[in-house]
Amino acid sequence: MAPPLSRRHLLQAAALAAVTPTFSYVATGRAAAAAEALPVWTVQPFSLDEVALGQGLFADKRQLMLDHARGYDVNRLLQVFRANAGLATGGAVAPGGWEGLDGEANGNLRGHYTGHFLTMLAQAYAGTGERVFIDKTLTIVEALTEVREALRHEPRVLGTAGRFGTAAENVRGSYQYVELPAQVLGGAAAITLSAWVKPTHDAGWARILDFGNDTTRYLYLAARNANGVPRFAVTTSGAGGEQGLNGTAALPLNRWSHLAVTIADGTGTLYVDGTAVARNTSMTLTPAALGTLAHHWLGRSHYSADPVFAGAYDEFNVWSRALTPAEITALQGARAADTAPGRGDLASYAFDETTGGTFADASGRGLTATLRRTWGAPSHPGFLAAYPETQFIDLESRTSPDYTKVWAPYYTAHKILRGLLDAYSATDDERALDLASGMCDWMYSRLSKLPDATLQRMWGIFSSGEFGGIVEAVCDLHALSGKAEHLALARLFDLDKLIDACAADTDILDGLHANQHIPIFTGLVRLYDATGEERYLTAAKNFWGMVVPDRMYGIGGTSTGEFWKASGVIAGTIGTATAETCCAYNMLKLSRMLFFHEQSPKYMDYYERALYNQVLGSKQDRADAEKPLVTYFIGLTPGHVRDYTPKQGTTCCEGTGMESATKYQDSVYFRKADGSALYVNLYSPSTLTWAEKGVTVTQRTDYPREQGSTLTVGGGGAAFDLRLRVPSWAGAGFRVTVNGRTVPGTATPGSYFTVSRTWRSGDTVRVDLPFRLRVEKALDDPSLQTLFYGPVNLVARNSATTYLPFGLYRNAGLSGNLLPSLTPVSGKPLHHTLDGTEFAPFFEGTEDPTHAYFRRSEPRVVFGGTDAGVANPARADGTTLLDEIWAGAPFGSKGALVTRVRTTVDAWVSAALLTRADGDKVVSTAQQATFAP
């Protein structure tokens, strides 16, 4: 009998493959039957802890991100969650950018970054085994457990040190305020309002108090008006009819201030810290004139756009008379109860309570106050977020995008859900799984009640309806829980218009937001796994073909300004906001997942391209404890300088960048489900531990600085096929030896080369993989090209802001290799110069101005460095004579090249594109020239 699987391996199995609904998660955390938990994909990945990275490019890049993960205080990430729940934040400062109330769209995406961080921590632990990553994960899980519990109840008093004793704090982002009973003003004709407050944020128009019906009849005291000073106002006819008092200086932040307002006999006075700062002798309105008011709030405004007051309250008193200046002064040094005025006779709150959600009234009138949230009563069971449930509710009736109101709440939910599942995988902490399951229960309870037409409308709204890879995560949870509701939830995200079009191979991508839609298809593959419904898998395969290569830039990225344009338009979409990094991340996930179903090498060719170029190049080559230093967009315009701290930080792309940099090893090796074959997809220094076979496979290489790799088998006696990827760009020099002997067979570019044997310990496989320099042309403008050396995109480093012209045929080799036209830079692998400009690998994360594309310019016919003295003619479509000649490469000999030259010249002469005399010069120059191999 096979041993039971650990929780970690159960989750890994769930993430690897389609597990049937018969898989059940039981209380012990073990599978009901281990065999039922096994993946059904024909090819399966290894877990991250089974593949150790060796020293090299990937390990160097990962180390930079690990340093960030080790050094960053996760309490900063938790600040927005704790604040939303009304919990103490311990003075932690939110990360900023999208993770806080001051960033884009008022921080309406906050919480997403914590999910990314959890995933990064789980992957970092799997790759290194360092305890620090587990400790940080457990800190987050414990805090989120407390947050969810707090959200399930009415808000509770958060006690803090006050001016005289204990004060009540409303954390910014908690949306909490105090509701006073209706009788608090008592219809008084004269009044004094007195409060001790400690503001913690400088937002304008946050109310210390606001008593009124609506935006017509009210009185308020604001900590800051439009000029940043306190303001009191009373009106029965809206803002235009306000009778007011304005202070002369801003209230200091994080320090106690005393404010008082008196009204009597037509005169109003505003006091700050015992000093009268404003007086209005024409203040005819009194509380009595306002009549019976509906709302009496501390901290909340009747104007919905105004922020909730952030800070603390100590004493709040209301007297039915105007206190004298001396009495106001007396309040500065003691509690009201210990001064001549005594407690307020209309209302008096000391805020000494440290538990519960109510405040006792000491006036003798019994006007108990209650702590409230602006967004309503407790959240529904299972809800977990760093902002109120209102974004989810608003989306259900929304028909147009407005990310200042609703910014992709289910996208944020996905990131948190995915992070919790990964945290559970890393720690076996049941709380993480319970939080994840509760989120899905809550989502199902909402979405299952909505008509299908409503769901289709929601998911079709740009940005607001974006849900990321939530379907994939829900399917992974379903594989653990076995709950029918979880699989049903995954299907509630079906965007039928998109699925049906792609299943029919109808391209409707033009104008769509790229990263809103790419992760939908990873979810569809998982739904196919869980349901067997073919349209899901067919749609995903067809979609991939609509992006690669027709909407793909050379580095593997896609999208311009986050959106797709028409198929085949590459040069016409290049700008400063091309190639959103999240898109590459999600295209890699989709390519990997499709390969598990269909072992087409094209998926791994794309994987290598995007990983070695855009993904590696998106990470700056320096460590930073504060920021992950990852690009959002990678502009491909001439002279573009990469921005590694975009949009104030904490964007979606920095989140996926953290994940990418801690899972570089996830696709180096795959295995056949029956154990009969091992796929080597990437040539990367690494050690695979294949426990089921009792072997290790160690790759030693400096690829891509080295043109090949050496694999050594440890253990022995295991029979399996070793399938070595032959990249589509590989030339005739691809060669495999085992223990020094050449393995016979044809290495076809864009395939896998198979070595079959029973492996013994110490067996050594050498793969030689010669690079050649080649160009890739923009589909819509062949003259706009990008340069590749093997898998590596080479970019020109030059501050010019127009496309640089370069010619490459001048010293091209018989193989068609363009490298001889470039000059290598001593001591800098993969660096070359051409016409005085340095070309460097795209993966180097520098801040140099770069040119990913250049303008191909071959004005004259040159062979082997010899100028024929003839202009290089071109056809109407832009194809030149030299293009047509070199299209015949590789050439087995110089004679074969000369024959090609002669045949091409004759055709061009016949077409009147070249004179016979010039044609003879071209042939003669080719005959006399010396060519590199």
Q: Which residue has the tokens 């029918």?
A: 484
**Percentage above 90 pLDDT, the chain:** 93
Do 200 and 94 lie in one domain? The reply is no
What is the total residue count of the chain?
933
Alpha helices, H only, 2-104? 7-16, 57-71, 74-84
Do 427 and 358 lie in one domain? The reply is no
Among 373, 394, 417, give the residue marking a domain's end. 373
- What is the C-alpha to C-alpha distance for residues 581 and 663, in angstroms, rounded to an integer? 16
Q: What is the pLDDT of residue 716?
A: 80
Q: Give pLDDT tens digits for 477-506.
A: 999 999 999 999 999 999 999 999 999 999
- What is the C-alpha to C-alpha distance for residues 753 and 601, in angstroms, rounded to an integer? 11
What value does the mean pLDDT of the chain take? 94
Please check whether residue 63 lies inside any domain of the structure.
yes
Q: Give pLDDT tens digits for 747-769.
A: 999 999 999 999 999 999 999 99
**Residues 580 and 653 sit within 8 Å (Cβ to Cβ):** yes
Please check whether residue 99 lies inside any domain of the structure.
yes
The dihedrals phi and psi of 148, each to the nearest 5 degrees, come to -60, -40
Residue 708 DSSP label: E
**Residues 192 and 261 sit within 8 Å (Cβ to Cβ):** yes
Among 493, 525, 546, give the residue marking a domain's end. 493
* Global pTM value: 0.93
Among 441, 466, 493, give the residue marking a domain's end. 493
Q: What is the pLDDT of residue 262?
A: 98
Please check whether residue 202 lies inside any domain of the structure.
yes
HSE-up of residue 372 (Cα within 13 Å, Cβ side): 18
Please check whether residue 836 lies inside any domain of the structure.
no
Do 165 and 254 lie in one domain? The reply is yes
Q: What is the pLDDT of residue 692?
A: 96
Residue 897 clears pLDDT 50, i.e. is over it: yes
Residue 30 clears pLDDT 60, i.e. is over it: no
Domain CATH number, residue 244: 2.60.120.200
E strands, 792-865, in order: 792-797, 805-806, 823-824, 832-834, 837-841, 850-851, 854-856, 860-863
Do 207 and 328 lie in one domain? The reply is yes
Please check whether residue 512 lies inside any domain of the structure.
no
Burial of 309 (0-12, 13-18, 19+ CB in 10 A): buried
Q: What is the pLDDT of residue 103?
A: 86
pLDDT band of residue 354 (cuts 50, 70, 90) is confident
Please check whether residue 904 lies inside any domain of the structure.
yes
Point out the least confidently predicted range of 8-22, 374-388, 777-791: 8-22
The total of structural domains in the chain comes to 4
Please check whether residue 822 lies inside any domain of the structure.
no
Q: What is the pLDDT of residue 877?
A: 87
Do 143 and 174 lie in one domain? The reply is no
- What is the C-alpha to C-alpha distance for residues 932 and 928, in angstroms, rounded to an integer? 13
Residues 6+ apart with CB under 8 A from 133: 69, 70, 121, 122, 124, 125, 426
pLDDT band of residue 18 (cuts 50, 70, 90) is very low
Do 345 and 368 lie in one domain? The reply is yes
Do 888 and 925 lie in one domain? The reply is yes
Do 214 and 353 lie in one domain? The reply is yes
Q: What is the pLDDT of residue 34?
A: 31
> Measuring CA to CA, which residue among 131, 6, 132, 127 is closest to residue 689?
127
- What is the C-alpha to C-alpha distance for residues 909 and 911, in angstroms, rounded to an integer? 5
Q: Which residue has the tokens 């921005």?
A: 643
Residue 689 domain boundaries = 668-703+708-768
Q: Give pLDDT tens digits for 849-881.
A: 999 999 999 999 999 999 999 999 999 988 999
pLDDT band of residue 911 (cuts 50, 70, 90) is very high
Rounded average pLDDT over 534-548: 98
Do 739 and 878 lie in one domain? The reply is no
Helix (H, G, I), strand (E, B) or coil at 781: strand
Residues 6+ apart with CB under 8 A from 877: 782
Residues 6+ apart with CB under 8 A from 239: 215
Do 304 and 272 lie in one domain? The reply is yes
> DSSP for 577-633?
TBS-HHHHHHHHHHHHHHHHHS--HHHHHHHHHHIIIIIHHTB-SS--SS---B-S-
Q: What is the pLDDT of residue 153?
A: 94
Residue 16 clears pLDDT 90, i.e. is over it: no
Do 71 and 96 lie in one domain? The reply is yes
Phi-psi region at 228: left, alpha or beta (left = phi > 0; alpha = psi -120 to 50): left
Do 323 and 413 lie in one domain? The reply is no
Residue 411 clears pLDDT 50, i.e. is over it: yes
- What is the C-alpha to C-alpha distance for residues 375 and 431, in angstroms, rounded to an integer? 27
Please check whether residue 517 lies inside any domain of the structure.
no
